[in-house]
Structure formats: C-alpha cells, structure tokens
Amino acid sequence: MSRPDVSALLEAFRADLAAAGDPEALEQVRRTHTGKASPLKAALKGLRDVPAEERPQVAAALNAAQATVEAELEAARLRAEEAALEARVAEEWQDLSMPGLAAPRGMRHPVSQVEAICLQTMRRLGFQLVEGPEVESAFYNFDALNIPEHHPARDMQDTFWVDGGLLLRSHTTTVQARVLEKHPPLPIKVVSAGRVYRNEAVDATHLAMFHQFEGIWVDRGLTFADLKGTLAFVARALFGADRRVRFKPKFYPYTEPSVGVDVSCGVCGGSGCDACHGAGWVTILGAGMVHPKVFTTFGYDPAEVSGIAFGFGTTRLAAQWTGITKVRSLYEPDLRTLTRLHRGA
C-alpha cells in the first residue's frame, strides 16, 4: 500500500473548515474529518498495510494530523460559540433607560417615621413605650399634673370636652400620670407617643389634633445634671452630633424646674436666619424635673425620688425634617404629598 497523503488530508480538512459558517456546518466538518468513515480514520486503519519499516513514521504523521484536526476543530468551535454569543447579545439589547418595573413600595407616614427614630433613640437609654387612652378625665390631664381648675396653664391647652365630663387628652403626659399611679418598680423609664387634641380654629398651621412624644424617668437620686445630660443626648441623637444645645427656663405645671431645649439652627448653623427668626436657635423640646406635687399626688415622697420628664411635638419634628411648612397637609390623606415626599415631585 502506498503511504497516505497526510498533507492532502489536512488540506481537504482545512478547506471544509474554512467553508463552515455556523455550528451545524462545523459539526458536519467534525463528522466528515474525524468520524469512523473519515479519510483520516481510514488511513489509520490502513497502517497495517504500510511496510513495517515505514509504519512508525506514517503512524506518527497520521497521529499528528489527527491532533491538528481536533485542535483546529476545537478552536473553530470556540470561535463559533463566541460569535454566536456575540450575535445573541447584540440581538438581546434592552433599553434600560426605560423606567424600572419593580412593584413600587409605599411609605410610612412622616410622623410614624419620626416616632420610630425617637423610639429607637429612647430605647438605647432603656425606655419602654407605653400607651394610654385618648379620652381622659380631667384628673389625669390636668389635676394630677398640677394644673388645677382655672389655672392659666389650662389656657395653654384649649380642651375638647366630651360626653360625661371627660376630655380628649391635650398632651401625652396623661400616660406618665397613669404610669406613676401604678407604682412600677424603680427605675421607671417610659415614653409615650400618640395623638393629642387642642380645641383650636383649624388652618394651615393650626391643628385640632397632632402628635406628641413624651418620656419620664423616675429613680432615686436623679439630678438636674442627669436631666441636662439625657436631653443633650436625645437632642444630638435626633438632630446630629454637631448641633449645639442650650437650656433655658420655661414653665410647665408638672415640672420644676422646667426647661426648654434649643439646638443650634440647622439652616444657618447658629448665626441667625429667617428660619430661626434671627435667634440662631430652634426650640425642640420642653422638659423638667418632675414637680413635687405630681409625686405627692401619686403617693411618692419627693424627698426620696426624683424624676426627669420631657416631651416634644412629633408633628413639628416631622414638618421640620420634611420641609413641610403647612402642617395641616401632614394630616390630609392627599397621596400627592406623600408620594412627593417619597419619590420626589
């Protein structure tokens, strides 16, 4: 038998390979040139007919040719796959500048968000949330809090009276009164949050109902310094560690001394601007040491225990933080307001 023409085999293979334009044609080339009926396989089978002295040389040439064919086929397959992938990717272009299609989330109300932040802050100091009724007696709303009948302080909280001589609580301090009445073990560390009511003519900036957040801490040996430290912590936790804090005298019937807490204006940094009426300060909360009369009303000895009480308007905080100037809009179920706060105009 004559020696197989390895070069011709490779030449024929390469010609077919070059002509194969897609994976199917490539597969056909593979079957044609490496299958059982391929010339290469036939040549390998015919080795036994090659003279013995030439056989090693011919076998080596055929094996080399087979390796070449397989390598070139693999390379061609990879090129074809890559080309196919490129074509597919090009085909599958999407315009991701189009608006996204995830199901849109809604949003918690700004007042709830503020309450959550306040609660989170107070929990760090060990305060627990308690709730109380909104329809209250004058005892819990006024008398127990050292606001006797006909006291001018009652003017500060125009009251909604309801059936049966009851009233709608004008502050969440009522909850503090109810907690003190129960004499839980010391230390008492509670906060309350919720709706309060004032019988006012309603307009864009005056509400008949709004939200407050209050807290009380009662223990042995609490001092005015503890009050200041706690309030400074709360103020900075809520408004930022860089804000300056100042304390000023105030009057609240249920605390003595009473304290107003200001933080440096977030707009001007304290130099004075329209937002802070030139003061450089913004009042954020009222507080004080629990009044001795409140303690004695509930059977505590003010010589034995002292307490810190504080409160602020979560409605006003929500307005400040969202930039809403007409707080009434916080209480209207106008979803345009909420979606604008959530998703922008």
Partner 1 sequence: MRTSLDVLRRFVDLPADPAAARVLLDEVGLEVKRIDPDRPGVPVTLELLANRGDHHGHVGLAREVAGRTGGDVREPRCLDLVVGEGTHPVQVQTPLCPVYALTELRRTAEVGLDAEARALLEACGLKPVHPVVDATNVANLELGQPTHAFDADTLVGPVTVRLSRAGERAWPLFAPEPVDVPEGTVVIADDEKILALAGVIGCEESKTTAATTRILLEAAAFDPVAVRKASRALDVHTDSSARFERGADFTLPLRGAGRVAALLSAGWAVHGTTSLHASWADPARLVPFEPAACRAFLAVDEDDASLWARLGRYGFVREGAGVRVPAHRLWDVEHPADLYEEIAKSIGYDATPTTLPAIDMGAVPSHAEQVWDTAAEVLVGAGFYEVVTDGFHGRQLVEQLGFGEGHPLHAHVETANALDRAYSLLKNETLGQALEGVALNVRMKHDEIKAFERTRTFHPDPGAPNGVCTERTVLWAIAAGHERPRTWAGAAREIDAHLLAGLVDELALALRVPFAVSTAPGTHPLQSALHPGRQALVRQGDRVVGIVGEVHPAVVARFRLKRVRPVYLEIDGDALLAEPVRAVFAEPPRVPPVERDLAFTLPRGVEAAALCAALEAGAPDWLRRVAVTDLYAHVQDGAPVRTLTVTLTWANDEGDRTAEALNAATEQAAQAALAALGPRGVTLRA
Minimum distance, C-beta of residue 36 to partner 1, in the bound complex (Å): 39
Residue 275, interface with partner 1 (CB under 8 A)?
A: no
Residue 321, interface with partner 1 (CB under 8 A)?
A: no
For residue 220, what are the CA distances in angstroms to 186, 217, 301?
8, 10, 10
Q: Which of 152, 185, 299, 323 binds partner 1 (CB under 8 A)?
A: 152
**Site track 212-251 with partner 1 (rule: CB under 8 A), x = hit:** ---------x-xxxx-xxx-xx------------xxxxxx
Minimum distance, C-beta of residue 106 to partner 1, in the bound complex (Å): 4
Exposure string over 242-258, b if 16+ CB within 10 A, otherwise e: ebebebeeeebbbbbeb
Residue 107, interface with partner 1 (CB under 8 A)?
A: yes
Minimum distance, C-beta of residue 219 to partner 1, in the bound complex (Å): 11
Alpha carbons 194 and 186: distance in angstroms, whole number: 24
Residue 278, interface with partner 1 (CB under 8 A)?
A: yes
Number of Cβ within a 10 Å radius of residue 333: 7
> Would you call 56 exposed, middle or buried from its count of C-beta atoms within 10 A (0-12, 13-18, 19+)?
exposed
Tell me which residues in 38-97 interact with partner 1 (CB under 8 A): none
Residue 153, interface with partner 1 (CB under 8 A)?
A: yes
Minimum distance, C-beta of residue 87 to partner 1, in the bound complex (Å): 26
Mind giving me the DSSP string for 25-50?
HHHHHHHHHHSTTSHHHHHHHGGGGS
Residue 328, interface with partner 1 (CB under 8 A)?
A: no
Residue 205, interface with partner 1 (CB under 8 A)?
A: no
